[in-house]
């Protein structure tokens, strides 16, 4: 329904902190559309897009794909969904991403859901995921951790300074994490 105000929640957290897992639960309970920027980029690689090789190489190195590529994919997915409530998972990963999304879409997030998880736990989860991701090897995982600390944490801090971060202890079992997530989404009960 085009007259409804677009609601965007950014879901951030380190590699393996459980963003995708928890978003799947929020979708079931609260009627949001889940858009994982990483999933959209992987779909773009598989579609044989002209950017595919560049994206693949960046993901393998744990680097952040240029905003113009990612924002375009997100914007298209938002339009195609027909929904107005979005969980945007794994984006924005740096200041450039943040500014580009705001400028192109004119949307500011309701809040940022931040999954806080110890690195040792994230590493354990990623190494046992076994879904064939080109970035789930110890060398790339270390690079992803470094990029997260250097580029993505400052984005979380930016939103924290605006009072927009809802921080979750993501080191617990999945169902316990979701109990905390559920509480944060209770205003959206629909």
The Cα-based distances of 140 to 15, 111, 160 in angstroms read 11, 29, 28
Among 35, 44, 78, 90, binds ligand UP5 (CB under 6 A): 90
Residues 94, 79: Cα–Cα separation, whole Å:
24
Binding track over 3-42 against Mg ion, x by CB under 5 A: ----------------xx----------------------
Nearer to ligand UP5, 2 or 108 (CB): 108
Among 9, 32, 35, 38, binds ligand UP5 (CB under 6 A): 38
Does residue 20 interact with ligand UP5 by CB under 6 A? Answer: yes
Residues 173, 117: Cα–Cα separation, whole Å:
11
Q: Measuring CA to CA, which residue among 143, 172, 52 is closest to residue 180? A: 172
Residues 17, 126: Cα–Cα separation, whole Å:
9
Give one DSSP letter per residue of 134-146, joined into a string. Answer: TT-SHHHHHHHHH
Contact partner, 109, from ligand UP5, Mg ion, none, Cβ < 5-8 Å per class: none
86: which strand partners? 8, 33
Nearer to ligand UP5, 72 or 163 (CB): 72
Q: What is the dihedral of CA 168, 105, 146, 114, to 10 degrees?
A: 0
Question: Any binding-site annotation on 18?
Answer: yes
- Which residues make up the interface to ligand UP5 (CB under 6 A)? 13, 15-21, 36-38, 41, 58-59, 62-65, 70, 90-91, 93, 97, 125, 129, 135, 144, 173-174, 177
Binding residues, as ranges, are: 16-21, 42, 63-65, 90-93, 97, 129, 133, 144, 172
- Which residues make up the interface to Mg ion (CB under 5 A)? 19-20
């Amino acid at each position: 329904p085009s007259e409804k105000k677009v609601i965007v929640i950014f879901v951030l957290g380190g590699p393996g902190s459980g963003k995708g897992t928890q978003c799947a639960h929020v979708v079931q309970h609260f009627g949001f559309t889940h858009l994982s920027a990483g999933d959209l980029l992987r779909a773009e690689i598989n579609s044989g897009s002209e950017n595919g090789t560049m994206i693949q190489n960046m993901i393998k190195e744990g680097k952040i794909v240029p905003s113009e590529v990612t924002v375009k994919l997100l914007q298209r997915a938002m339009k195609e969904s027909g929904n107005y409530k979005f969980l945007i998972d794994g984006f924005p990963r740096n200041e450039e991403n943040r500014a580009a999304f705001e400028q192109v879409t004119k949307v500011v997030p309701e809040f940022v859901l931040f999954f806080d998880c110890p690195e040792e736990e994230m590493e354990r989860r990623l190494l046992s995921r076994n879904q064939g991701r080109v970035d789930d090897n110890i060398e790339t995982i270390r690079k992803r951790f470094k990029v997260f600390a250097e580029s993505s944490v400052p984005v979380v801090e930016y939103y924290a300074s605006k009072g927009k971060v809802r921080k979750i202890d993501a080191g617990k079992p999945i169902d316990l994490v979701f109990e905390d997530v559920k509480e944060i989404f209770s205003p959206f009960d629909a």
